[in-house]
Amino acid sequence: MKRYVLLVIALGFLAIYLFPLYWMYLTAFKPSSETFTFPPRFWPTDPQFNFAKVFVEKKMDVYLWNSLVVAVGTTVIAALIGTGAAYALARVRSVWMDVALFLILMMQVLPPSLMATPIFVLFNQIGLIETPRFAVILAQTAKVLPLYIVLCRTSFMQIPKELEEAARVDGASRLSAFLRIIVPLARNGILVTSVLIFLQSFGEYVYSRTMISQENLQTATVGLMNFMGPNTTDWNGIMTYAVIYVTPIVIVFMLLQRKIVSGLTAGALK
Amino acid sequence: MSALLRSLRDGRGFDAALACLALAYLFAFSAFPLIYNIAMSFQEVDMFSLGDLIRPFVGLANYKTLFAAPEFWPIMANTVIFVVLCIVFQLGIGFGLALFFQQDFIGASYLRGLFLAAWIIPALVAGAIWKWIFAGDFGVLNYLLLSSGLINEKIFWLSTPAISLYSVIIANVWLGIPFNMILLSVGLAGIPKDMYEAASLDGAGPWKRFWHMTLPMMRSTLGAVVCLGIIFTLQQFDLFASLTQGGPANASNVAQYWSWQLSFQNYDIATGSAVSVLMLGLVIVVAFLYVRSTRQEHRA
């Protein structure tokens, strides 16, 4: 009996906590006339489907595509550079590796809004601002690479050293043992971390806002801010935009929830 | 040369090369900009000298301008209020929820994980949603407070100078709760169950058990979570951009947003860099404490 009471209380907490997300979905489904009624309605009486209209009007295909380019680019570079480093840091115990890990953890904490100024000036001087999406990818990779390394490192630490040693006895080089034995075994950890990095980069804002000036190269976060403007009234449209943007993220999260949670907790505290 | 190749193929060189690749990347795109930022804070930088490699050195002039700015101390005070209140409430509510979900019932861990759904959505979108919830005339928050009798007239959450900072704090606490809760749950799960059983047999009540067992056992986790919380709160930018943009009249401005505004809205890059240097110094101190606390835990 007590367990059911606890379950009901837990559902209550969750409902209160996730109410803002409900409010976003509800507003998106309301007709614009009903958006501005006071008292507000808490249930859709006459659901509208403005999604296609907002998608086309707000050129969301362009914005979402740019966000996708940034997120995929960031994830690919972080995975290419970070996987090896995570492995090396998990395998080797030496003073140098401790120093390296310390430096990497320190890099993790730099706030992007404070790094935006020097990165912008630097990229401007070497001409990277000419390819703004690539510039954002490089900056965002630097932001997420430490987290990638820290999270991946824990999955490499769980692989027994003996497996690799056996392959080495059979004559495999370090590189082929790494690529053929170790990476496939750590596949799950690498994938979950990559998804997490991808989701984070898909919502990136500071660097995109700072470095991308051409509208057709801007990301979905910047597009949303352009839409919101200083004196917004079209809340119905904004919430519809938000729903289109956020729903795929929420679905990916629901599918991978367990793995994301365990990956996150393992990395942040160890 | 062949010795180097052999080391790369077979020995320690391989690990070193892998680690160095990532470090080189981080040096180029994190550490170097950081150093460059310190240099810029002592130079005269504006939109015209942006492309120059050598700029006039002005010593501490940028910092003098900064400290003399009338908004400097209010914004610093806002930053402190923002960080302290966010940490207190995120940690308090997160800890409460973690303790609650520690109990044994169906779906406890699954439901706990669902809280992260709010954490995973882009902070800028979360800001947009909260802006609509906070809306003065048609916002649902005002409706709920009015109809429950807690307030008598509508509050203009984002445009009232005395309130706007607290509105951003509410939104940021909301964003931060799941992360705090999940990390604290890990710490709670690490406390052996039989210790509690032994304590209850000895007649220790729930409050005593929490105070004398849970809290001391959670010390290192709490330390790490507080450090991470400070770091993430100082990183919060998107909520300020989407909710108040530091306004009205800097009433809700904090250092990390101000630094960006100075550089990219006022084009006063030198002063913006000076603000970053001050803040980054603070962040690095906190990070140092965090890294030390987690490494001790790791060794133990």
pLDDT in tens, B12-51: 788 888 999 999 999 999 999 999 999 999 988 877 777 7
Report the residue of B6, B10, B15, B106 to disrupt the A interface, i.e. the one with the largest count of A CBs within 10 Å: B15
pLDDT at B1 > cutoff 60: no
Residues whose CB falls within 8 Å of the CB of residue A105, separated by 6 or more in sequence, listed in order: A146, A150, B287, B290, B291
pLDDT at B250 > cutoff 70: yes
Which of A7, A105, A121 shows the shortest C-beta gap to B106?
A7
pLDDT at B210 > cutoff 70: yes
Contact B122 A221 (CB under 8 A): yes
Q: Average pLDDT for residues B258-275, to the nearest whole number?
A: 92
pLDDT at B258 > cutoff 90: yes
- Residue B296 has what pLDDT? 56
**Helix, strand, or coil (residue A167):** helix
**Helix, strand, or coil (residue A270):** coil
- Residue B200 has what pLDDT? 83
Task: Give per-residue pLDDT as tens, A82-128.
Answer: 999 999 998 888 888 888 888 888 888 889 999 999 999 999 999 99
Higher pLDDT, B7 or A99: A99
Confidence of residue A266 (pLDDT cuts 50, 70, 90): low
Asked if residues A208 and A222 have their Cβ atoms less than 8 Å apart, the reply is yes
> How many helices (H) and strands (E) are present in chain B, helices listed first?
17, 0
Asked if residues B252 and B244 have their Cβ atoms less than 8 Å apart, the reply is yes
Contact A21 B15 (CB under 8 A): no
Asked if residues B37 and B273 have their Cβ atoms less than 8 Å apart, the reply is yes
Burial per residue of A197-233, b for 16 or more beta-carbon CB atoms within 10 angstroms, e otherwise: bbbbbbbbbbbbbbbbeeeebbbbbbbbbebbeeeee
Portion 55-84 of B in contact with A at CB < 8 A: none
> Could you tell me if B186 lies within 8 Å of chain A, comparing CB atoms?
yes
Q: What are the two backbone dihedrals, phi and then psi, of residue A219, each rounded to the nearest 5 degrees?
A: -90, 175
Task: Name the residue with tokens 């009798």.
Answer: B149
Contact A121 B45 (CB under 8 A): yes
Residues of chain A found within 8 Å of residue B276, distances taken between Cβ atoms: 114-115, 117-118
The CA distance from B177 to A268, in Å, is 15
Task: Give per-residue pLDDT as tens, B44-101.
Answer: 887 777 777 778 888 898 999 899 999 999 999 999 999 999 999 999 999 999 999 9
Residues of chain A found within 8 Å of residue B283, distances taken between Cβ atoms: 109-111, 114
- Residue A37 has what pLDDT? 80
Higher pLDDT, A61 or B196: A61
- Residue B8 has what pLDDT? 67
ipTM of the complex: 0.91
- Residue B299 has what pLDDT? 45
Contact B122 A103 (CB under 8 A): no
- Residue B165 has what pLDDT? 96
Task: Give per-residue pLDDT as tens, A145-190.
Answer: 999 998 898 889 888 888 888 888 888 888 888 888 899 998 988 9
Contact B132 A103 (CB under 8 A): no
- Report the predicted TM-score, pTM, of the whole model to 2 decimal places: 0.91
Residues whose CB falls within 8 Å of the CB of residue A197, separated by 6 or more in sequence, listed in order: A74, A75, A78, A79, A144, A147, A148
- Residue B300 has what pLDDT? 37
- The fraction of chain B above a pLDDT of 90, given in percent, is 50
Which of B18, B234, B279 shows the shortest C-beta gap to A88?
B18
Higher pLDDT, B274 or B199: B274
Higher pLDDT, B294 or A26: A26
The pLDDT mean for chain B works out to 88
Which of A2, A85, A245 shows the shortest C-beta gap to B19?
A85
Portion 244-283 of B in contact with A at CB < 8 A: 256-257, 259-260, 263-264, 269, 272-273, 275-276, 279-280, 283
> Could you tell me if B41 lies within 8 Å of chain A, comparing CB atoms?
no
Task: Name the residue with tokens 């940028």.
Answer: B62
Cβ neighbourhood burial of A59 (10 Å; 0-12, 13-18, 19+) = middle
